[in-house]
Amino acid sequence: MHSIVGNDPEGISFVLAPGQAHELPLARAMIEALPDVPLWIIGDRGFSADRFREQIRDAGAQPIIPPKKNEARLRCQDFIYVHRNRIERLWNRLKEWRAVATRYEKTANAFLGVLCLAATAD
């Protein structure tokens, strides 16, 4: 599996997974690599898994991940949910770029460049 990890001085990092792979295994590794324990770890419905939520709680954070449609609803405070929604809206705006939405670029480095360009333009 080829991945590119980006870090900045403020501790923000990301991992670029292959287009056909699910991000959940990489998310687990990123949680283990966090320098500090955040209050919340926010994710989308694709990260809805009991074992993943358990790992987040074991790390000392609260998971803010909406349940799948066939799972029981989870209670979430409004001010936290607003931040999750901001992340969803960011990805929706980034996917307006055709090259981001379709992973049009052939190499991981080129895709990462397009993603950074789209984020900067946003």
> What is d(CA 122, CA 109) in angstroms, rounded to the nearest whole number?
20
What pLDDT digit, counting tens, does each position of 34-86 carry? 778 888 888 878 888 889 999 999 989 988 887 777 777 767 677 777 777 77
| Tokens matching residue 93 | 């705006």
CATH number for the domain harbouring residue 105? 3.30.420
Domain extent for 75 = 4-121
Whole-prediction pTM? 0.65
In percent, the amount of the chain with pLDDT more than 70 equals 85
**3-state SS string over 57-90?**
HHHCCEEECCCCCCCCCCCCCHHHHHHHHHHHHH
Number of domains observed in the structure of the chain: 1
- pLDDT value of position 3: 47
